[in-house]
Amino acid sequence: MTEGTRRMPAEWEPHQRTWMAFPTANPTFGEGADLQRARRAWSRVANTVARFEPVTVLVDPRDHAEARALLDTDIAQVPLDDAWLRDSGPTFVSNQAVDWRFNGWGAQSWARWEKDAQVAAKVAELTSTPLSPSALTQEGGAFQVDGHGTVLLTETVQLDPDRNPGWTRLQVETEIHAQLGTSQAIWLPRGLTADYGEFGTRGHVDIVAAFTSSGAVLVHTQPDPGHPDHAVSQEVLEILNQAQDARGRRLEVVELVAPRQSEVDGELVDHSYVNHYVANSAVIACSFDDPNDEAARAVLEQAYPGRSVVSVDARDIFAFGGGIHCITQQQPT
């Protein structure tokens, strides 16, 4: 790699460290039992990842004692609004850290982002990484890369008028390619249905599709024709089966069948095995105490040969609006 070359390494390439954030009291988590439930769920993921690589968890100074009691990781005290570090943190590329504009997933009414909008710069400072500011408003969960020039995007995120008013598809692609070193964008029309609910992201791709080290792209697939995500997943499968990557190759598309449970307390959920995290020598997989958990593990083992697949119960993460991938952010070596 020549000096100044810009490339976002694929998630399965070697990591120096994983970054996370510790849930703090806010409209997402509340201040009582729900907040404690979230903190335990986030800590389980952090402590699991720490078995395979160093982990630093950002902790709001007022929450330091509670975090120290739950975490077997490094801690850095940073003011926080929320705990979805995939979205508020920087995107590490070769030689730099990209600081996307962050506005609470499209300035949603419940979101707080004054502190979180500064988190990417704080992490860059902690890692002594030069910062690359971007004019594009988006989050880390809103794109996926294969490490060879291809990026997956979603129309309802990057072209969201509450994120990027007036931006064209060409302008979005130009900025993303400049920041990530990609050259081919594959656009999906929308995300999973529940992701458009109260605490949703309005279409993050990291619960829909993911590139893998085997060269395949995994796609969340809903086989039930009566489920609203059946049509969504069929459209995504059709697009990806016809798409080419940056090297001009047809994609190898592998279906990752959704958990059977589609509702919790009468509310539609977007539980997804696609929302896993690839750490050094391991895949941290979402489990849901669901009959499809083991089948998903088998698919992930095939998709990431040579890596251990470690399942962590993700139900108490998805209850607050995301999954394991949404709360982790890799720093490549």
How much of the chain, in percent, has pLDDT values that exceed 90?
A: 97
pLDDT in tens, 200-222: 999 999 999 999 999 999 999 99
Q: How confident is the model at residue 2 (pLDDT cuts 50, 70, 90)?
A: very low
Q: Please report the pLDDT score of residue 126 as a whole number.
A: 98
pLDDT at 9: 98
- Across 163-189, average pLDDT: 98
What local confidence, expressed as pLDDT, does residue 5 receive? Answer: 80
Rounded Cα distance, 33 and 209, in Å = 33
Whole-angstrom Cα distance, residue 20 to residue 110? 21
Alpha-carbon radius of gyration of the chain: 18
Biggest CA pair distance of the chain: 54
pLDDT digits (tens, 9 = 90+) for 251-310: 999 999 999 999 999 999 999 999 999 999 999 999 999 999 999 999 999 999 999 999
Q: Does the pTM of the predicted model rise above 0.85?
A: yes
* Residues near 234 by beta carbon (within 8 Å), at least 6 away in sequence: none
230 inside domain: yes
Residue 269 lies in a domain: yes
Backbone angles phi, psi at 141, to 5 degrees: -80, 0
Q: Which whole-number Å values give the CA distances from 234 to 225, 257, 292, 299, in the listed order?
A: 10, 12, 19, 19
Whether pLDDT at 247 is above 80: yes
Residue 10 placed within a domain: no
C-alpha to C-alpha distance for 249 and 238, rounded to whole angstroms: 16
Q: Is the residue at 5 inside a domain?
A: no
Task: Decide if 8 is inside a domain.
Answer: no
Give the up-direction half-sphere exposure of residue 156: CA atoms within 13 A in the CB hemisphere.
14
User: Is the model's pLDDT at 77 over the cut of 60?
Assistant: yes
**The pLDDT of residue 3 is above 90:** no
Is residue 263 in a domain? yes
Q: At residue 238, what is the residue type?
A: E
Please tell me the predicted confidence (pLDDT) of residue 235.
Answer: 98
Query: Which CATH number does the domain housing residue 128 bear?
Result: 3.75.10.10
Q: Quick check: 4 pLDDT over 90?
A: no
Is residue 229, in this structure, part of any structural domain at all?
yes
In a domain, residue 59? The reply is yes
Whole-angstrom CA distances from 70 to 43, 65, 103, 260 are 6, 9, 29, 31
Which range of residues forms the domain containing residue 178? 15-332
Q: Is the pLDDT of residue 1 over 60?
A: no
Structure token pair of residue 117: 């909008």
Tell me the average pLDDT across 105-119: 97
Average the pLDDT over 140-158 and give the result.
Answer: 98
DSSP count for the chain of H helices, then E strands: 10, 18
Q: Taking residues 100-111, what's their average pLDDT? A: 97
The per-residue pLDDT for range 23-60, each reduced to its tens digit, is 999 999 999 999 999 999 999 999 999 999 999 999 99
Catalytic-residue membership of 286: no
Catalytic residue, chosen from 10, 93, 312, 326, is 326
Q: How many domains does the chain have?
A: 1
Mean pLDDT of the residues in the chain: 96
